[in-house]
Amino acid sequence: MLYVIYAEDIADSLEKRLSVRPAHLARLQLLHDEGRLLTAGPMPAVDSNEPGAAGFSGSTVIAEFESLEAARPGLMTIRISPPGFTARSQLSRIRRFFENTLSFFWLTTKTPRSSE
């Protein structure tokens, strides 16, 4: 089953986030190598993929685990969590509805061609 791990950062966490980034990416790489990582990434605090000094508001990971109990340690080891780093976190089950939602979004938002 797929699980969403959501971790919300404390304010001004960019420096702490960068200090643990290599270890965090290594854990995500293991999930990827095992074929269990659907997606993962930081959540920019502003409308930009490169938020600069604004930093990030948190991280989201969607990965496959055997059960909710098996995913719980993932909440502790996957999220970036040095002391005082995470304001709150959540672990939830998720059922995949669309295999490729980006393709679905693109197909449903294209402007229809006029008939000529």
- DSSP state letter for 96: -
SS3 94: strand
**What integer pLDDT is reported at residue 109 of this predicted model?**
42
Which residue(s) pair with 94 in the sheet?
A: 2
Structure tokens at 20: 């643990």
* Residue 37: pLDDT band with limits 50, 70, 90: very high
Report the percent of the chain where pLDDT is more than 70: 75
* Residue 78: pLDDT band with limits 50, 70, 90: low
Please check whether residue 84 is in contact with residue 9, taking contact to mean a CB–CB distance below 8 angstroms.
no
Domains of the chain, first to last:
2-109 (3.30.70.1060)
